[in-house]
Amino acid sequence: MAVLDGTARVVLGGKGGPELTVQAGDVLLLPAGVGHCCADHSANFQVMGAYAAGRVWDVCRPEETELNQAQERIAQVPDWNHEPV
């Protein structure tokens, strides 16, 4: 995920996870299964996300997702052949 403009506070790992501040030029490489959300952002905040090699997103929410099935799907995501950045 690349921050194109502005700043934001991002929470990683789900509710109560660590918060970090990101700004234009920052890049986050998030492994499969790492929850993330924007807690607050500047008015000009823009971010671009991408999934390697044709992978697609899969939103898993605790109230909607069976944990064992989600962990099985996460385990099937291949590692990078090389770092994307």
Written as six digits, the tokens of 13 are 């790992």
Q: Which residue has the tokens 């939103």?
A: 59
What's the confidence (pLDDT) of residue 42?
98
Query: Number of structural domains, the chain?
Result: 1
The mean per-residue pLDDT over the stretch 20-25 comes to: 98
Burial 70-79 (b: 16+ CB within 10 A, else e): eeeeeeeeee
Taking the CA atoms of residue 44, residue 28, residue 2 and residue 36 in that order, the dihedral angle to the nearest 10 degrees is -50
Helix (H) or strand (E) holding 75: helix 67-75
Say if 63 falls within a structural domain: yes
Say if 66 falls within a structural domain: yes
pTM, full prediction = 0.78
Structural domain span for residue 30: 2-50+58-75
